[in-house]
Amino acid sequence: MKTLVFVYGTLKRDGENHGWIAQQQFVAEAHTAPVYRMYDLGGYPGMVRAADGVSIEGEVWSVDEAGLARLDVLEDTDGGEYERVVVQLEGEYSTQPVEGYIYLRGVEGRRDVGECW
User: Could you report the per-residue pLDDT of 68-92, keeping only the tens digit for each?
Assistant: 999 999 999 999 999 999 999 999 9
Instruction: Name the percent of the chain lying above pLDDT 90.
Output: 99
Question: pTM above 0.85?
Answer: yes
- At 88 the pLDDT is 97
Nearest alpha-carbon partner for 36 in 21, 15, 58, 12: 58
Determine which one of 75, 83, 90, 108 is catalytic.
Answer: 75
- Could you read off the pLDDT of 15-28 as tens digits, one per residue? 999 999 999 999 99
Q: Per-residue pLDDT averaged across 20-38, rounded?
A: 98
75 is known as an active-site residue: yes
Q: Which domains does the chain have, with CATH numbers?
A: 2-103 (3.10.490.10)
Question: What's the CA gap between 40 and 79, in Å, rounded?
Answer: 19
Average pLDDT across the chain, whole number? 97
Helices (H), the chain: 65-74
Q: What is the DSSP letter of 32?
A: B
